[in-house]
Amino acid sequence: MPGKVYAVANQKGGVGKTTTAVNLAACLAEAGERALVVDLDPQANATSGLGERANGTSSYDLLDGVPLEELAAPTRFHNLWLVPSKPELAGVAVELARREDGERFLAESLAGAGDGYSFVFLDCPPSLGPLTVNALAAADRVLVPVQAEYYALEGLSQLIRSLDLVRARLNPQLELAGVLLTMVDGRTKLSADVVAEVRKHFGEVVFQTAVPRSVPGRGTELRHARDQLRPALGRRRGLLEGGDGACQPRLNHSAAASAGAWKCSSAARAPRSS
Ligand SMILES: Nc1ncnc2c1ncn2[C@@H]1O[C@H](COP(=O)(O)OP(=O)(O)O)[C@@H](O)[C@H]1O
Ligand SMILES: [Mg+2]
């Protein structure tokens, strides 16, 4: 059975996409699952976060039709594999936009090739451009990290519209895995307000498990989310496979939309004192 392919996407930068992708993959690898991270961001943060560098080939070549098995390299973490990125990937976005079939290149490259992995995470760049569209076209599910800060809901309705478009045009099977609150600071009222607002508007698609803000330190990239995600994974075989209680991972957007869960309120955007 092919592995589950998760796109980790949000067109906002700095919301925890890379941290989530890297940590989930690392937790699963540690739990004995073969996990693959495909770094689709020219900034290559997942690559450096895993202590790697693109050594010649990269996700650029994956989009160019080079087979996955030639590109996925083992990392220093047991069971954890990586297709690295490098800055040249930025150029591919332009090429993809020019090609009529450019939105499906990744889906074609991954089709059947992910069989050797239980989980594949596609770490998306901070835009809804061709690289993210390729990831959404190739994924089984999309996981949306949302940072618990001002303007948390800003842009989310646009992301949801993009998911609808991708479903309609490219990948009808695409499911929303859920919205994951990240960098939650339990000490501030602002954080609590944003968490409440996101839960109010997105309801059961928001994972009950939220990732707290941790204090940066050496090796933090692999720890930020990990302490929080590991127990969630252990308890119920994952945020991902069975949901974490609050979130129904198979809930599709139309069900959520008819429940009114997708409306974003302007109230959530107004800065408040913490
Ligand atoms: N739970 C957390 N606590 C503290 N800092 C975090 C946490 N998650 C991510 N960060 C930091 O926030 C920044 C943005 O995270 P990142 O995963 O790179 O976001 P994105 O991939 O969405 O741009 C990084 O510097 C990262 O180290
Ligand atoms: Mg990133």
Which ligand minimizes its atom distance to the CA of 217? 1
Contact predicate 204/243, CB 8 Å:
no
Nearest CA to ligand 1 atom 25: 14
Domains of the chain with bracketed CATH = 4-268 (3.40.50.300)
Dihedral (CA of 136, 138, 142, 147) sign:
negative
Q: What span, in angstroms and rounded, lies between the C-alpha atoms of 60 and 83?
A: 9
Tens of pLDDT along 59-80? 999 999 999 999 999 999 999 9
Q: What span, in angstroms and rounded, lies between the C-alpha atoms of 129 and 241?
A: 28
Tens of pLDDT along 209-266? 999 998 655 444 555 556 556 655 544 444 564 444 333 332 233 333 322 222 222 2
The pTM (predicted TM-score) of the whole model is 0.84
Confidence check: pLDDT of 13 > 70? yes
Q: What span, in angstroms and rounded, lies between the C-alpha atoms of 228 and 115?
A: 28
Which of the listed residues 8, 10, 18, 19 should we mutate to test ligand 1's pocket, taking the one with most ligand atoms within 8 A of CB?
Answer: 19
- Ligand 2 center to residue 241 CA distance, Å? 23
Q: What span, in angstroms and rounded, lies between the C-alpha atoms of 265 and 52?
A: 41
Going by pLDDT thresholds of 50, 70 and 90, the confidence category of residue 153 is confident
Nearest CA to ligand 1 atom 27: 221
